[in-house]
Amino acid sequence: MSITLLDNPFWYALNSNHRHLAIWGNIAACYQPDVSFAPAMPENNTLGFDDLRSLVVIDEMIFVLGELPEDLPGWEVSQTSQYPQMICEDLKPRPHLEAIYLTTDDVPDMLDLVALTHPGPFLPRTIEMGKYLGLHRDGQLVAMAGERLHLTGYCEISAVCTHPDYRGRGFAGALTTMLAEIIVEREEVPFLHLSPTNDVAMKLYKKLGFQLRKEIKLAGIKRLA
């Protein structure tokens, strides 16, 4: 496996472990509705974006990793930012919690928690991308973490979040470590992306054994009519 796969993880996920979740054009691909807003193409060029238009509805916001072409007719770029990409090749041990695997029955509660905490995009079918661990207190889902992009040799940890009333108890770190252990047991390398302004999360992930690999551009774009 090559570390450079992580320069274009959407593409390599849809060409491997997530092929069953893909919709294909001639060049580009994207995830099925309500799974992810992530499109993919071998290179971010004009031909790829022209093909992608057939897979995206008008005014739908999607998120593209990497540099965009200078000329992007038919698209509106609404936001761009550099996101830290971290990998973990030396996972640090951490106490486990009584977490459970979440299922489609838990999706309404997961969506409520995401709406409250804003860890990043999570849709009604995002749970199909991998395993999700959750922690309940008093019958309420208060913390979770899950697998998102899954490509050969690597698996992304995403949707790490904790209800505001339960923060400061180590839930996020414990769930991230437990999920990373599952990935390592498959002989894969855990990786993740985080908000460029989330210094608290950066410090936590470094304590868990994650290291910054690179800054990677993420752009939000919309298809114009």
How far, rounded to the nearest angstrom, does the alpha carbon of residue 50 sit from its chain's CA centroid? 25
What's the rounded mean pLDDT across residues 16-33? 96
Return d(Cα 60, Cα 46) in angstroms, integer.
19
Q: What is the pLDDT of residue 84?
A: 96
CATH code for position 34? 3.40.630.30
**Co-location of 153 and 92 in the same domain:** yes
Range of the domain at 49: 3-83+218-223
SS3 content of the chain, % helix, strand, coil (to 5): 30, 35, 35
**Prediction pTM value:** 0.95
**Can you tell me which residue has the tokens 């599952």?**
182
Q: Which residue has the higher pLDDT, 195 or 156?
A: 156
Sheet with 61-65: list strands edge to edge: 61-65, 210-223, 75-88, 189-193, 154-162, 140-151, 132-137, 100-101
**Co-location of 176 and 208 in the same domain:** yes
**Co-location of 165 and 200 in the same domain:** yes
**Can you tell me which residue has the tokens 């999360």?**
201
- Residues forming beta bridges with residue 30, ordered by sequence position: 23, 39
**Co-location of 106 and 210 in the same domain:** yes
Q: What is the DSSP string of 113-166?
A: HHHHH--S---TTGGGGS-EEEEEETTEEEEEEEEEEEETTEEEEEEEEE-GGG
Nearest to 110 by CA among 92, 87, 94, 129: 129
Return d(Cα 62, Cα 33) in angstroms, integer.
12
Return d(Cα 56, Cα 198) in angstroms, integer.
30
**Co-location of 180 and 98 in the same domain:** yes
**Co-location of 56 and 146 in the same domain:** no
Q: What is the pLDDT of residue 168?
A: 94
- Mean predicted lDDT score pLDDT of the chain: 95
Q: pLDDT at residue 22 above 80?
A: yes
The encoded tokens of residue 216 equal 């990677």
110-161 pLDDT per residue, tens? 999 999 999 989 999 999 999 999 999 999 999 999 999 999 999 999 999 9
CB 78 within 8 A of CB 220: yes
What's the rounded mean pLDDT across residues 34-62? 94
Return d(Cα 202, Cα 126) in angstroms, integer.
24
**Co-location of 78 and 96 in the same domain:** no
**Co-location of 131 and 183 in the same domain:** yes
Number of folded domains that form the chain: 2
Q: What is the pLDDT of residue 1?
A: 66
**Co-location of 203 and 112 in the same domain:** yes
Return d(Cα 37, Cα 32) in angstroms, integer.
9
Q: What is the pLDDT of residue 79?
A: 83
The encoded tokens of residue 118 equal 């804003």
**Co-location of 145 and 49 in the same domain:** no
**Co-location of 53 and 79 in the same domain:** yes
**Co-location of 96 and 206 in the same domain:** yes
What's the rounded mean pLDDT across residues 181-193? 97
Q: Quick one: CA torsion of 64, 85, 141, 14, rounded to 10 degrees?
A: 50
